[in-house]
Structure 1
Amino acid sequence: MPEKASSRGSGAKKGAQKYQNAFAYTHNRGSKTTKKILALPVDGLCKRCTDQILWRKQYRKYKPLTMTKKCVSCEQKKITKAYHVLCDGCASEKGVCAKCMETEEIVEVANQKTSQQRLKEQQELEQKLASMRERQRRSYLRKLQRGDIVAADVPDVCKSDDEFDYTDSEEESGSEDEEESEDEE
């Protein structure tokens, strides 16, 4: 009788994973490491591997490389991206995914934009900023500089005045005081 390859006694199948990550991890806003990790490009990968890397970033499981890795094809220390096994040159030369080495269609992530797209977005941003009130514009630019919002959030900022405290109490109280002083005279 041949021995089983599995170490399980009864040969029972393993169940589903116990903890399913029901909600995304909330990143520390001020963390420089998190900002650096989220800014890293995800390119040269197939759809499945791209999804895996994006999931790792979203749930804060992504660990960037500290030193360059050796490519399994050319055996030179050229790999600078975490979870890749082929350098960019070898992967593009062979036409395979740099992580799983499968010959599937390589996905281009939406984060990579052409210069024309960047120029168009820059012009749209300038138009939106020009249409904002001064207080809105300064608040938006401050939040953008802090990293609380992304440049793509401009339409939301323009539409909602809920984020900004626009109380006309100073203007109203000032005009009432003037009226009262005129009445007294």
Structure 2
Amino acid sequence: MPEKSSRGHSGAKKSGQKYQNTFAFTHNKGSKTTKKILALPVDGLCKRCTDQIQWRKQYRKYKPLTTPKKCVWCQLKNIKKAYHVICDDCAAKKGVCAKCLSMEELVEGNNPKTPQEILKEEQELERKLASMRERQRRSYLRKLSRGDIEPDQVPDVAASDDDFEYTDSEDEENETDGSEDDEELHNDN
């Protein structure tokens, strides 16, 4: 049997993709959907599949699942991540990629933090919150509860967010300016 080639029936070589992504796609800044998609972890996959998922996220081609999918091996509706064909439990038991089922080395997604690192970050957050002004602290906690910012995005306390800074010298100048005007009025009369 002759080997299959990338040439079609006519023997002509296929050309590459017509439209290539030559520059990075820019996401909508205020899109909640984009924020959710970018926050989803990419784990339990081989290097090739991880790169594919990252590309989909970068160019806004990633479509998250709306309902859980059925696992090919255990036949349970356990798949909650898009583009996976087996659930995380089956993938961990068999040691395969959850997308392409290859037995290649799996790429660790978001490296899980040790309890000591988590405790250290919490202490750092408490220290920064204690050094903030009341208004800054309440604003930060409000944004955190709404989901506008991530917990690790603690603003610097050194950066002052005061729009107007009044000093005593400016107040004194205003008081003396007003008193001089009053004296001139009295002198004119």
Please state which band the TM-score falls in when normalised by the shorter chain. Answer: 0.7 to 0.9
Q: CA deviation at 1:145?
A: 4.1
TM-score norm. by structure 1 comes to: 0.73
- Mapped to 2, the partners of 1:65 and 1:110 lie a distance apart of 20
User: Structure 2 counterpart of 1:94, which letter?
Assistant: K
1:85 and 2:82 are equivalent in the alignment: no
SS at match of 2:13: coil
Q: Is residue 63–residue 82 contact of structure 2 (8 Å, CA) maintained in 1?
A: yes
The aligned residue for residue 74 of structure 1 is: 74
Provide structure 2 residue ranges, at least 5 long, that are not aligned to the other structure. Answer: 184-189
Cα deviation for residue 146 of structure 1 reads 4.4
CA contact (8 A) 1:27 1:60 kept: no
| Distance change (3 Å), C-alpha of 1:18 and 1:158 | farther
- Residue 166 (structure 1) aligned with residue 167 (structure 2): no
| CA distance in structure 2 between the partners assigned to 1:80 and 1:73 by the alignment | 15
Larger Rg, first or second structure (1 or 2) = 2
Deviates more, 1:133-142 or 1:70-79: 133-142
Distance 1:138 1:91, change over 3 A: same
Give TM-score scaled by structure 2 length.
0.72
Aligned match of 2:174: 177
| Aligned partner of residue 151 in structure 1, secondary structure | coil
How many residues were matched structurally? 180
Contact 1:42–1:50, Cα closer than 8 Å, also in 2: yes
Cα distance change on mapping 1:125 and 1:182 into 2, 3 Å? farther
Pairwise CA distance, 1:38: 3.2
Question: Residue type matched to 1:177 in 2?
Answer: N
Name the amino acid aligned to 1:38. Answer: L
Aligned positions of 1:41-80 closer than 5 A: 41-80=41-80
Distance in structure 2 (CA, Å) of the matches to 1:9 and 1:167: 75
Say if 1:65 and 1:82, in contact at 8 Å, map to a contact too: yes
SS at match of 2:38: helix
Residue 96 of structure 2 corresponds to 96
Does the CA contact (< 8 Å) of 2:44 and 2:106 recur in 1? yes
1:22 maps to a residue whose letter is: F
Structure 1 residue 83: deviation in Å? 0.6
| Distance change (3 Å), C-alpha of 1:178 and 1:117 | same
Q: In structure 2, the residue corresponding to 1:84 is in which secondary structure?
A: coil
Q: Residues of 2 paired with 1:110 and 1:133: CA distance?
A: 33
Moved more, 139-148 or 62-71: 139-148
Confirm or deny: 8 A CA contact 1:29 1:148 kept in the other structure.
no
Q: Which whole-Å CA distance do the structure 2 matches of 1:8 and 1:166 have between them? A: 71
Alpha-carbon offset, residue 115 of structure 1: 4.1
Q: What is the letter of the counterpart of residue 132 of structure 1? A: M
Report deviation, 1:138. 3.9
Q: Give the 3-state SS of the residue equivalent to 1:129 in structure 2.
A: helix
Distance 1:147 1:12, change over 3 A: same
Residue 45 of structure 1 and its aligned partner are, at CA, apart by 1.5
Shift of 1:40: 2.8
SS state at 1:15 partner: coil
